[in-house]
Amino acid sequence: MKKTLLLVALTWCAALPARAQTGLFVGAQATGASLTYRDAADNLDFGSGFGVHAGLMLGSSLGILVNYDKNTLGASAGDTELGQWDLLGRMSFIGLGPAKTYLTAGLTGRTTSSRFYNGTSGDFDFSGMNPTAGLTGQFMLTSKLAIDGGVLWTFGKFNDTHGYSTSRVEATGSRVSVGVSYYLLGGK
């Protein structure tokens, strides 16, 4: 994981001198998320939530996106709260007029809280940092306002488990989001 973080950081640092800042943006989004535990019998329903984000486009093809999403996932035994923090790099993939898509990858810190896990009642809190990848996009409405969307997948294990006997719990998460961004300095 440290090698992945180092590789992402070095890529960004190499790109900084080559590109001028073209847009600092902030925004909010509605999100939907799911979480699939590898070895658990629990079935979590797709849950809705909200999020906020900020980003910086470095030229027309590279950018950095910082994101936070909070979702409530339903289950027959009770809800699971899921929070996710992202540090993502974006590279332009396809652009057509005011619309642009980005290949997106980076790291996600995530935490869950539930009163039920794998057939057992209690207080369960899982957390960990894992790799994330997906596709995001923007459609510029004006030079400062954009509609955003994205699909992200997070892979790996929760390394910190409280309330459960296993020290690691493997889970794959997926998210979809739709929101708006406002460019503070410029835009495209």
Residue position matching structure tokens 């640092």: 13
Look at the block and give the residue holding tokens 């899921």. Answer: 82
Nearest C-alpha neighbor of 33 from the set 153, 171, 134, 166: 153
Global pTM value: 0.79
> Can you tell me the distance from the alpha carbon of 105 to that of 152, in angstroms, rounded to the nearest whole number?
9
Does residue 141 lie within any of the structural domains? yes
Q: Give the pLDDT confidence score for residue 167 in this predicted structure.
A: 62
**Where is 35: in which H helix or E strand?**
strand 21-37
Question: In this structure, which amino acid lies at residue 22?
Answer: T
Domain holding 22, by residue range, is 2-183
Dihedral, CA of residue 139, residue 140, residue 146 and residue 150, to nearest 10: 20
DSSP string computed for 41-52 = ---PPPEEEEEE
- Whole-number pLDDT of residue 68: 96
85 assigned to some structural domain: yes
Q: What is the CATH classification number for the domain harbouring 14?
A: 2.40.160.20
Q: Is 188 helix (H, G, I), strand (E, B) or coil?
A: coil
- Res 178: pLDDT: 97
pLDDT in tens, the chain (188 residues): 555 544 444 444 443 333 333 689 999 999 999 888 776 656 677 889 999 999 998 877 899 999 999 999 887 667 888 999 999 999 998 989 899 999 999 999 999 888 777 667 778 888 899 999 999 999 999 888 999 999 999 998 888 777 666 666 788 889 999 999 999 876 55
In a domain, 78, yes or no: yes
Within a domain: residue 113? yes
Strand partners, 112: 82, 126
Domain-located, residue 188? no
Tell me how many domains the chain contains: 1
Strand boundaries in 38-168, DSSP class E: 47-58, 62-73, 80-96, 99-117, 120-140, 145-154, 157-158, 160-162
CA 18 to chain centre: 26
Contact indicator for 56, 16 with CB cutoff of 8 Å: no
- The identity of residue 40, as a single letter, is A
